[in-house]
Amino acid sequence: MEEHNKLSDEEFKRQFANCTLPSEVFSHEAHLRLAWLYLSEYNVEKTEVIIQDQLKKYVACFGAEDKYHVTLTVAAIRIVNHFISRSASDNFTDFIVEFPQLKTGFRELIASHYGFDIYASEKARLNYIEPDLLPF
């Protein structure tokens, strides 16, 4: 079980926003959970703004600004939103069970949208780049 799952949704969001969530708890799955939580409350555009602002603050608190990746952040939010629109789940735990590829095949999901390695692209890390293969 992922450590972030031990926290209620509100506590998880609060700790993340306040930079009190330990960085080792903020796994890939925790990133997905954050997107799911905000998308459950707000539209995609507002979620993108909130998460990008909070994530920049969060990585700065831990001196890990080089870990922040604009394109990957926006793409992840849009991918989670796509799966939410097809989901029957009303909580994140069920959602991630319903769509395990978000955890186990995320790189492949990204690769279906981008014809280049966005993980290795400095341009993609600093600025959002629209997909060149399959739009979100």
Task: Dump pLDDT digits (tens) for 98-129.
Answer: 999 999 999 999 999 999 999 999 999 999 99
| pLDDT per position as a tens digit, 45-96 | 999 999 999 999 999 999 999 999 999 999 999 999 999 999 999 999 999 9
CA atoms within a 13 Å half-sphere pointing along the CA-CB vector of 136: 23
Quick one: pLDDT band at residue 1, thresholds 50, 70, 90?
low
| pLDDT per position as a tens digit, 7-47 | 999 999 999 999 999 999 999 999 999 999 999 999 999 99
Quick one: pLDDT band at residue 2, thresholds 50, 70, 90?
confident
In a domain, 8, yes or no: no
Q: How far, in Å, are 79, 84, 85 from residue 95 at the CA level?
A: 13, 8, 11
**What is the CB neighbour count within 10 angstroms for residue 13?**
19
Say what the pLDDT of residue 105 is: 97
Q: How far apart are CA 126 and CA 64, in angstroms?
A: 14
When divided into structural domains, the chain yields a total of 1
Across the chain, where does the E strand assignment appear? none
- Torsion angle in degrees (nearest 10) through CA of 48, 53, 55, 58: -160
DSSP assigned state of 3? G
Quick one: pLDDT band at residue 135, thresholds 50, 70, 90?
very high
Range of the domain at 35: 31-126
Q: How far apart are CA 68 and CA 70, in angstroms?
A: 7
In a domain, 92, yes or no: yes
In a domain, 132, yes or no: no
pTM above 0.75, yes or no: yes
Q: How far apart are CA 134 and CA 131, in angstroms?
A: 6
In a domain, 80, yes or no: yes
Q: How far, in Å, are 2, 10, 29, 57, 62 from residue 6 at the CA level?
A: 8, 12, 13, 23, 22
In a domain, 46, yes or no: yes
In a domain, 10, yes or no: no
In a domain, 5, yes or no: no
In a domain, 20, yes or no: no
